[in-house]
Structures are given as structure tokens and as C-alpha cells.
Structure 1
Amino acid sequence: MRLRRSAAGVAAVAVIVAVGVTACGVSTTSVTEPEFTNELAIPPLADSTVEGGVRTFDLAAQRGSTDFAGQDGPTETWGFNGAFLGPTLRAQRGEKIAVDVENDLTEPTSVHWHGMHLPSKMDGGPHQMIDPGQTWKPHWTIDQPAATLWYHPHPHGQTEDHVYKGLAGMVILDDDASQSADLPYEYGVDDLPLIVQDRTFSDGQLELTHDGAEPGMLGDTVMVNGTIGAVQEVTAEKVRLRLLNGSTARTYAFEFPDRTMDLIAGDGGFLDEPVEIDRLRLAPGERAEVVVDFAPGETVRMRSAEVDLGGVAVPATMGGHDSFDVLEFRAAEILTPAPEPAWSRSSHAEEDGLDEAEAATIRKFELEEREINGERMDMSRIDEVVHVGDTEVWVVRSKQPIPHSFHVHDVQFDVLSVDGEPPPVEMSGRKDTIYLEPNRDYRLLMRFEDYTDPHLPYMYHCHMLLHEDEGMMGQFVVIDPGQEGDVGMPAGHEGVGHEH
């Protein structure tokens, strides 16, 4: 146990307003803390069928209503296979999978497999829209390390709205390293998926408004897996938390006030070894896995502390000064023993490795005023052309003092440096999304493998979803050498640009 002081029981409290007070001022985006009395909802593992060597999942985007704690009456929401959020898809490296995605909404949507390596036509970006009443059937082979990924809509200009209403879910990938690891493994018991999101309610309904605040709307109510004031019973000495920041704009700094955590994985899979940390910053779209120790009979809460946003102009208005409890854990009087976290290298580790010396190209990306490299997203324009098999370095910089979260589709990258210095611990291991502190250079190493298509692009963009919707996104294609003359958008996409 890594306890800095005795873990006293934490009594449930009445609704209070958590206000972060610092020398710089008082938070203006206060979070309301509920009573922690509601059992944490665990997203079910998605059912699947296997036929002809292909594992097939079924997802349906649909409308529904959800009874949120503290609200009068049901709230209108969207979800996959239910009223809010969606089931967890689980698959193994080497498996061929397919997903039948049905759109039962009254407007088009899409489903992007965030963090997944797959063909661009299966990626679920804004070029793979699903009309109402239609079914999209992407399929691919899982060929990447064990990791915690997620899925969510990606309609151009409407991603924030669709995610805010509830369309999101987790994906868990397994491989030989994860299946032989000394780690908590029982899903929903000592291996917990935690989708952390913030929302604002008005008259019992979800409210999404924009008043010019950056980096977008910050909700005053925080939920985990759709549960407000969530409580999780603990039955083991160690619990694995798969943390996903599923919010549209808020950055969190997760901590346990009286103990450390073992960081074991980032967006794209395991670190080389566990790293003991006090606090973990996660921006929208980022994931991490931590293992936490518990003592018999204790009650303890995971918090989001005041978060260092790295030199933004007014941190108090951007959530930097907010501090609030997120989830309560109640440990049983007798806990199942657990070994210290440990795992072996995957049998694919050598082929998965990246080497900066092999970098063929260096590209620079500057984010400013809803633009990347001076341009807003245009569905008809290819911004970058990449050759398959190439290793590249992308140098990414935010030129304005507001939060940005940079995500690249298809690949997992290594963060080589931040302003020439080693990256912080939360950027250890493979990543697909990183928080960009203003006016700092982030050097990202990535390799583009397997899939080529001169017509259908992947995306790179800010994962602050308001920023993405308003144009902070670009497109790249991966091609074979000699296909340069074939690069261009497919029929039906020419001239479809961003509406200012």
C-alpha cells in the first residue's frame, strides 16, 4: 500500500459547490458536487457472434431518456444500444472484426474508432456518414498492442453535439502481454472502465450553449459512466482504472489525496514498466490506465484537482482552478490479495517499435484561431500526403494561450520531446491524443503502415470538440509511392467545405 496518511472514511455530503481558490483567483466554472450514493454503472460488454472467422458486433445509435440523479424527471439522451453511452467492445490482436452500425436517429451521424489502426474507409470520420435508417458495416483486423480505446461520432460540425447527448463507448484490446500480465483483470469488478464527462442541465435537460468561453462549454455536473455521485464497491486490494476523458472541453487532473497510483498504460498500451504518480492530467480524448491500492474497510474518493493548463491566459475561466470529487470507492472488510503490477513484452514488441533515425519526413503543425497551419477544415481538400511504411516526425505547436488537445487518426505515436526536454510522465508510452500547452513544441514520432487510399483521408484535429467543429482539423491520405497523381477526394465530396 502506498498511503501517505491513514485513509479515514469520507462521509457523504449534501450538494455543495466546489470552488478552487488560488493566489490567481477563484474559479468561475464551479462544479456542483452531489451526494455520493449511487452505484456506479458499468457499461456491459457488447455481445458478438463469430462466423467465418469474423467477430461481429452490433451497435445502434438511438434516442432515449435517462434518469440522472438530482434531476426532476427523465432527460432526453442518445446512446448506442441504450439510452446513454454504449457497450464496451472487446477483441484480441489478430482477430478479424466487423461492426454493424445502425442509425436509428433522425439525422445523420458516424462512428469513429478513436485510437484504432485501420483502413481510412473504416475509420468512421466525417466521410463515412450514416443516414437515418441505414446501417454501416466496417470491418478490419486488429493489429496493434493491447490498449483502452473508445468510439464516438465524428460528423463534421456536429461532433460536440452528438457526443454531448451521449454517443460514446469504450473499446478494450487484448494481446499476449495483457493476457499474461499480473494485473487486475475481472471486468467491472477490479478492472473498471471509467468514462468521465461533464454536463450542464437546464430544467432537467442537457444544455449545450456557447457564449464565447474557451475552450468550450464546461459543465457544472460531473458523471462517471453516466452516473452522478457514483459509488464503487471494492473487493480487491488493487483495482485497475481505465480512465477516459470523454468530455468535450474539460481537462482533468485525477488524484487520490492520500495515496499514489501506478500508471501502467497510456492511450496506445502498456508503458515499459509501472510508474508511481501522484496526479494524472488527461485532456479530452485521452485515456490512461492506473492501478490503485485499497485498505480493508476504507472509503476514499478519486478527485480532480486544480489542473495545470500550462500558461493559458485565464485558467480560472478554463477550468484550471476547479477541484472536485469524481467517484467514491468503498472497500470491503476483507479484500482479495493482488500481486504488484507486472507484465512481459509483447511478442510483437520489436515490430511495433519506432526509431527516430528512420524518420523520412518532418512536418510542422501550428494551431491558432480554429485553424491548423493557417487553414480551416475543408472536406474537399487533402492537406497532407504520406507514403505508406514511412516513419515521420510531426512537430505540433499551439500559438495561442487557450487549451488544445491534438489527436491523430490511424496511428499511435511516441512523444519524443516537449521544447527539447523529455515529455511528462502522462505522455509516456504510445499516444494518439495529447494536451498542448501553449507556445511549446511537441515532437511526435509515428509510422504509417498497412493501409493506403489516395481518395479517402484520415483526420488530425483538436479534440476540444467545439474547436474541431469550428474548423480546427485537417486531412491526410496514406499512399503507395507513385500514387501521387491519384490523390483527390472521392465523388460527392468535391467542394464540400467548412461553413464559416
Structure 2
Amino acid sequence: MAVDTVGEVDFDRALDVPPLAESHLEGGVRTFDLTMQAGETDLGQGSMTPTWGINGTHLAPTLRAERGEDVQVRVSNGLDEASTLHWHGMHLPAQMDGGPHQMIAPGQTWTPHWRIDQPAASLWYHPHLHGQTARHVYQGLAGMFIIDDQDEAGLDLPRDYGVDDLPLIVQDKKFHDDATLDSSTSFMQSAGITGETVLVNGTPGPYFDVTTHTVRLRILNGSNTRPYNFAFEDDRAFALIGTDGGLLDAPVDLHEVQLSAGERAEIVVAFEPGEQVRLQSGPSDTGDRLAGGADHLDILQFRAGDHLGGVQQVPRELVEVPRIDESTAARTRDFDLSGVSINGQEMDMARIDEVITLGDTEIWNVTNLDGQTHNFHIHDVQFQILDIDGREPPPHLRGWKDTVWLPGGQHIRLIMTFTDYPSTQWPYMYHCHTLRHEDQGMMGQFLIVEPGQSTQPNDYHLQPDRGHGERDH
């Protein structure tokens, strides 16, 4: 049965904005300190809910760094079980990626380090351990990672963090009567948990006091399962300025934007003095009831002040987004998604599925063979969509992406270039970002190797039990 919370949400709590994470320079390297920990949080259930968080009891601070900076993150595990932190959307060495091969044991610290080398974008970070990612994210381990660069800084866009530039981590939850998180599902809900309570930055029933004519929203679908179709209650238009991997070449005027789990969108919306308007989510294109795709949800109320300042309109041009030439592709690969497998195989930590030559451009054909809704996320690279079921992608899907939605039966062609970080020992992942599907096996591994090295997967052997965070990398 479809859920409808429109008109049922009391917007009685000010939106919490995650703090910017503190950092300091060590030998020219921007250094962040993060601690995963357990605690209790008021999630609007009448009593405290046991949760996990990073540098707090729930969710995480926003990391922020400039393109060209060297960064390191000291990640300490204060939980009573092993976990990881993966930098979703980040271009970085596989050894620093925070996937299932970089486990952090309780009481241990992992210190990845890399140079930020990609355009301004709204990325995020979350656990990525094999078999338990859904539970760890659902408990509250998630945060935003914003990259800045000179091109973005030169544009007249809202960028006062927490004032007219807001991260929105949107997640749905279910609760037991005692306020503890309910992770149960019916036998029909193979995609995983969907809840009737929607939190934004961990805030139930949130409102935001608008003080500027325009507000930039960095929206993250941080849910385990649920797709969202974001729109405003009065169907007002807004400008989509960026997708997963960064800004578009020009704003795209939309009335709604759909995001599957893990996808991001940057939009700029305009307000009039004194008005109130709700951000909502309506049914998605799939209408997949068991994943929440038929639901109507109230998300967040905006309350505009009587006098508004700030940026009044969006630039007509943003940044150059060069298209990758299909004729330069060295290879085409096929990825068929069905059940909880890719190409008929479930995840094996010791198996390499694909081997890619450094510097190559490739086309990946991804097909959803079953009736479930899946999506597809590739680590390390940002890709472009060539076509969807043989048709050119709409303007809002022509920018850089790292996660793409595939409703049942859909075929999509992606193109990407593998420019850095060869290794014969440390793999990257590709997987469905519906987290239960990922945990149950809908994931594979690829290596990037130097030109001249073998591209046969069975020529490489991994030791999946080697990375437990017992020493810094």
C-alpha cells in the first residue's frame, strides 16, 4: 500500500545543518579527524533512539577541501565492530577508497591520504563493508564531502554554507514503539527497508528559515532503498546546476528531479518574501511500491523572511563539460543486473571480475534484466551517459555521474576514462547502490593495470582478509 504523509508532518524542528569538519595542515596536508561512535539521538519518537554517528551520535560533519589539495583523514573506529568509510564519488587510489578491503577494526585507526583532483562537486561518505553496508548506513554513518575549485568559485552562485547553500541528507526510517530503529521488511520487500518517517540531516519534521532570494540545495538520497522524486508543493521550477560529479555546462529548468539511493543533485530555488513552501517527494517513474516508488511524502518546509538578500538569479552558463568521444573507446563491456547478481555472479572478495588498462576509455553497457529497480555505481571514475534505451539522455542527465538509476528492463550505455592509480593488488568496486542488493552480492571488482600488463582477471589473486585497520595505510 502506498504511503502518503502530505499534510501529516508537523514542521516543528529547525533543520539541523551538519557542521563543517575541523581540519588543520600537517606538512601542507589538510588533515581531518573522524571517529565512528555509538550514542543516542532524538529522532522525534518521544524518547532517545540508539544511533551511530561520526564525531557525534548521528550522521557526520561535512568535509570540505579544494581541488589540488593533499588531504588525509584519520578514521578511528570507536564502535564495537569493524567498519569502513568509503569516499563515494571520489577519484583516488583504490587502497584509499574505503571499500570492503579497507576494514577498520574496533579501536583501530585508518589514515587514507590522496590529492583532490576532480571538479567541484557534492560527494558523500559512508561505510562500505561487504554484507553489512545497509545496517551501518541505516544506523547513521553518513556525511557529505564538498569539493571546491576555482571555476565554481568564479560563478555568482549561492555558497554561504548553512545560509543559502544547504546540504540535505534525505533518509527514511522506521521505528519500534520504544523508539529504536526498525529494520524489518516484509517477505515481498526484497529491495530492503522503506520507512514512513523522513529525516533531513537527521531532523524529523524540519523547517528552514530562508533569508535569501535563492537557496542552493545539495540533495543526497542517503536512504538504503527508497527512490525520491523531489518537487515543490506548488510545482515551482528550479534550476538544476549539478549532478553527482559536478556542475553542468548550463542550468536546466526542472519541476522535479528523481534520485535513487546514493545519487546527488544540486539545485537552486527562488523564494518570495514571506512565503512558505514544502519540498515533497511524489511517485517515481517506476512506481515500484515495494521500494517506496509510489509514495507521496512531505520532506522539508521553507519559511521565507520578509526581507531577502543574496544572489537573485542563476548564471546562464556554468562550467565546460567536454563530452567523451565514443570513437575513442578501447573496449565495451556488458553488465547484466538480475536478482542480486551481476553477469550471473555474486560478489566474491577474492575474485577480480574485470581488468582495465590505465588510460583507456571504455563503454559499459548496463542492463536491468528483472522487474526490480536497480541502480549502478562505479568507484573512482565519473562517467557520462551515452544513451538510455537507445535514446539520447535528457539535458539533466548529460553531466558527470557516478551512480545511475535503472528501472526494470532498462538498458543504458556509459562512457568513462580510467586516468590514474594502477594497482595489481587493490581493486575498485562496481555495484547496485540499493544497499541490501549490494550486501547480498550485487557487486563486482575491477583492477586498473599498467599498459602491457595482463587484462585477464584470473591472472590476479587477492587476499580478502588482509585489511583490518590494525595499522595505518
Give yes or no for contact 2:355–2:446 (8 Å, CA) kept in 1: yes
Give yes or no for contact 2:170–2:221 (8 Å, CA) kept in 1: yes
> Is the counterpart of residue 488 in structure 1 residue 460 in structure 2?
yes
Q: Which amino acid aligns with 1:341?
A: V
**3-state SS, counterpart of residue 292 of structure 1:** strand
> Is the counterpart of residue 420 in structure 1 residue 390 in structure 2?
yes
- Aligned partner of 1:224 in structure 2 is 200
Instruction: State which of 273, 295, 317 in structure 2 corresponds to 1:296.
Output: 273
Q: Which amino acid aligns with 2:21?
A: A
**Superposition pairs for residues 106-121 of structure 1, below 5 Å?**
106-121=80-95
Residues 364-389 of structure 1: CA deviation (Å, up to 9, x unaligned): 00000100000000000000000010
Alignment partners' CA distance in 2, 1:271 and 1:325: 28
**Superposition pairs for residues 441-460 of structure 1, below 5 Å?**
441-460=411-430
- Aligned partner of 2:28 in structure 1 is 53
Quote how far apart the aligned CAs of 1:342 are.
Answer: 2.0
**3-state SS, counterpart of residue 143 of structure 1:** coil
Give yes or no for contact 1:455–1:487 (8 Å, CA) kept in 2: no
**Superposition pairs for residues 9-28 of structure 1, below 5 Å?**
27=2
Instruction: State which of 303, 311, 319 in structure 2 corresponds to 1:338.
Output: 311
Instruction: State which of 108, 130, 141 in structure 2 corresponds to 1:167.
Output: 141
> Is the counterpart of residue 396 in structure 1 residue 366 in structure 2?
yes
Alignment partners' CA distance in 1, 2:318 and 2:299: 33
Give yes or no for contact 2:88–2:123 (8 Å, CA) kept in 1: yes
Give yes or no for contact 2:350–2:464 (8 Å, CA) kept in 1: no
Residues 335-385 of structure 1: CA deviation (Å, up to 9, x unaligned): 004242127666xx58x7522221000000000010000000000000000
Give yes or no for contact 1:182–1:343 (8 Å, CA) kept in 2: no
TM-score, normalization by structure 2: 0.94
Alignment partners' CA distance in 2, 1:253 and 1:426: 14
Quote how far apart the aligned CAs of 1:487 are.
Answer: 4.9
- Aligned partner of 1:184 in structure 2 is 158
**3-state SS, counterpart of residue 303 of structure 1:** strand
- Aligned partner of 1:68 in structure 2 is 43
- Aligned partner of 1:23 in structure 2 is none
- Aligned partner of 1:135 in structure 2 is 109
Give yes or no for contact 2:38–2:51 (8 Å, CA) kept in 1: yes
Give yes or no for contact 2:251–2:318 (8 Å, CA) kept in 1: no
Give yes or no for contact 1:384–1:477 (8 Å, CA) kept in 2: yes
**Superposition pairs for residues 32-43 of structure 1, below 5 Å?**
33-43=8-18
Alignment partners' CA distance in 2, 1:330 and 1:340: 19
- Aligned partner of 1:497 in structure 2 is none
Give yes or no for contact 2:30–2:71 (8 Å, CA) kept in 1: yes
User: Aligned in 2, Cα 1:86/1:431: closer, same or farther, shift over 3 Å?
Assistant: same
**Superposition pairs for residues 18-417 of structure 1, below 5 Å?**
27=2, 29=3, 31=5, 33-69=8-44, 71-202=45-176, 203-212=178-187, 213-258=189-234, 259-309=236-286, 315-342=288-315, 354-417=324-387
- Aligned partner of 2:470 in structure 1 is none
Alignment partners' CA distance in 2, 1:450 and 1:462: 24
**3-state SS, counterpart of residue 201 of structure 1:** coil
Q: Which amino acid aligns with 1:288?
A: A
Q: Which amino acid aligns with 1:165?
A: Q
**Superposition pairs for residues 454-473 of structure 1, below 5 Å?**
454-473=424-443
Quote how far apart the aligned CAs of 1:493 are.
Answer: 4.2
Q: Which amino acid aligns with 2:461?
A: M
Q: Which runs of 5+ in 1 are unaligned?
A: 1-25, 495-500
User: Aligned in 2, Cα 1:342/1:471: closer, same or farther, shift over 3 Å?
Assistant: same
Alignment partners' CA distance in 1, 2:227 and 2:317: 32
Alignment partners' CA distance in 2, 1:337 and 1:30: 35
**3-state SS, counterpart of residue 206 of structure 1:** coil
Alignment partners' CA distance in 2, 1:337 and 1:365: 46
Give yes or no for contact 2:158–2:310 (8 Å, CA) kept in 1: no
Q: Which amino acid aligns with 2:296?
A: S
Query: What is the CA RMSD across the aligned residues, in angstroms?
Result: 1.7
Give yes or no for contact 1:62–1:78 (8 Å, CA) kept in 2: yes
Give yes or no for contact 2:250–2:318 (8 Å, CA) kept in 1: no
Alignment partners' CA distance in 2, 1:282 and 1:335: 30
**3-state SS, counterpart of residue 467 of structure 1:** helix
Q: Which runs of 5+ in 2 are unaligned?
A: 467-473
- Aligned partner of 1:14 in structure 2 is none
Q: Which amino acid aligns with 1:161?
A: R
Quote how far apart the aligned CAs of 1:403 are.
Answer: 0.9
User: Aligned in 2, Cα 1:317/1:450: closer, same or farther, shift over 3 Å?
Assistant: closer
**3-state SS, counterpart of residue 144 of structure 1:** coil
Give yes or no for contact 1:62–1:82 (8 Å, CA) kept in 2: yes
**3-state SS, counterpart of residue 163 of structure 1:** helix
**3-state SS, counterpart of residue 156 of structure 1:** coil
**3-state SS, counterpart of residue 252 of structure 2:** strand
Alignment partners' CA distance in 2, 1:78 and 1:328: 26
**Aligned pairs, number:** 460
- Aligned partner of 1:435 in structure 2 is 405
**3-state SS, counterpart of residue 137 of structure 2:** helix
Give yes or no for contact 1:180–1:343 (8 Å, CA) kept in 2: no
Quote how far apart the aligned CAs of 1:428 are.
Answer: 2.6
TM-score, normalization by structure 1: 0.89
Quote how far apart the aligned CAs of 1:426 are.
Answer: 4.1
Give yes or no for contact 1:380–1:493 (8 Å, CA) kept in 2: no
Alignment partners' CA distance in 2, 1:173 and 1:343: 22
Alignment partners' CA distance in 2, 1:388 and 1:256: 44
